[in-house]
Amino acid sequence: MGGSAWVVRLASLLALGLVLGSVEASLGDIDPRYRTCVRECQTTGVIGENIISDCQSKENDTSVGGSWYNQEQIYMQWKQLNCRTDCRYFCMMRREGERQSLGLSPVKYHGKWPFLRVSVFQEPLSAALSAVNLFTHFIGWLSFFLLVNYKLPLRPQTKRTYYEYTSLWYIYAILSINAWLWSSIFHTRDIDLTEKLDYSSAVALLGYSLILSLLRTFNVKDEATRVMFAAPILAFVTTHILYLNFYELDYGWNMKVCVVMAVVQLLTWAIWAGVTQHPSRLKLWTVIFGGALAMLLELYDFPPYMGYADAHSLWHASTIPLTYLWWSFIKDDAEFRTSTLMKKAK
């Protein structure tokens, strides 16, 4: 356990920093000049040399019919959304140009740094790295699936895997792929729907990861006991997701909830690896330490370099090798448990 003491200290620093960092407000979107620019742009559809066609045509387009699924109404809502998004972007770029000419540093707008677009991608680097993370999780799950089903021996009677946590890791893979999918979509197009789906998917993954860490580290194999472990966490995570989606998307509160769940499972894995002397504990500690250090990028945030690479995108980049190493540990654990159970069966 002494070998994991540094993880405890790092986790404490991480929790404190993230909680303090969650209260930071966006200065750009409360700038009177920025607000005036957006308001005028949405009214006229013109900002400088840029013409926002979705804004100019909205007064001439009128929807008919009262059904919520009416095709024209959906089209109009999409045009209004494009109008607001494009006006915010061009006004942000113009205001940042003015600030730069005055020697002022960049500020955030609506919680985000001013990024340069590439085609439809609002944050191209983060979107691309999220897609790479998705692919890495898929490859990790596929290699795990092939290992437990075709390379390791199966139980003679049932033809099922010896590893008791196989199905739990399958669910983890599905939630991970889903979370990175919505992360990629959200960084491509930041609207209310994609933002809520991104946050909800991340919270669901984090909550399930906490459950899985407790089930594995406490070696819970009985289904009834697993339900007892999971039920209160599932209830809380579900309530939290409903709160974010249907009551208030409170960024500060969500950050604190995520920090608590992350730190608890980080400490759980770290201490368990030291106590049990797991043969792959060094891999696990590397993932924990690397993940904690990577999360520090979220604390010491900085504006995007050349308009593309900010601390958040670098965090996305750092999770790619950690994901590969994490799935390597999972496969090692499957081999270790299979070998142990086969020896007991003899």
The pLDDT score that the predictor gives to residue 2 is 46
* pLDDT tens track for 289-305: 998 888 787 767 788 88
Provide the residue count of the chain.
Answer: 346
* pLDDT tens track for 59-85: 444 444 445 444 555 555 666 677 888
Structural domain boundaries in the chain: 32-102, 118-345
The pLDDT score that the predictor gives to residue 79 is 66
CB 105 within 8 A of CB 303: yes
- Residue 59: φ, ψ to 5°: -75, -25
Round to whole Å and give the CA distance between 31 and 291. 35
- Non-local (6+) Cβ contacts of 301 within 8 A are 21, 310, 311, 312
Helix (H, G, I), strand (E, B) or coil at 265: helix
Q: Considering only the top CATH level, what class is 118-345?
A: mainly alpha
More confident residue, 56 or 218: 218
Alpha carbon of 245 to those of 77, 231, 260: distances in Å?
A: 20, 21, 20
Predicted model pTM: 0.85
Q: Closest Cα partner for 84 from 123, 119, 54, 116?
A: 54
* pLDDT tens track for 12-50: 445 445 444 444 447 777 888 999 998 888 888 888 878
The pLDDT score that the predictor gives to residue 232 is 97
Token pair in block for residue 128: 């691309």
Q: Closest Cα partner for 36 from 103, 77, 91?
A: 91
* pLDDT tens track for 185-243: 999 988 888 999 999 999 999 999 999 999 999 999 999 999 999 999 999 999 999 99
Q: What is the mean pLDDT of residues 129-135?
A: 97
- Non-local (6+) Cβ contacts of 339 within 8 A are none
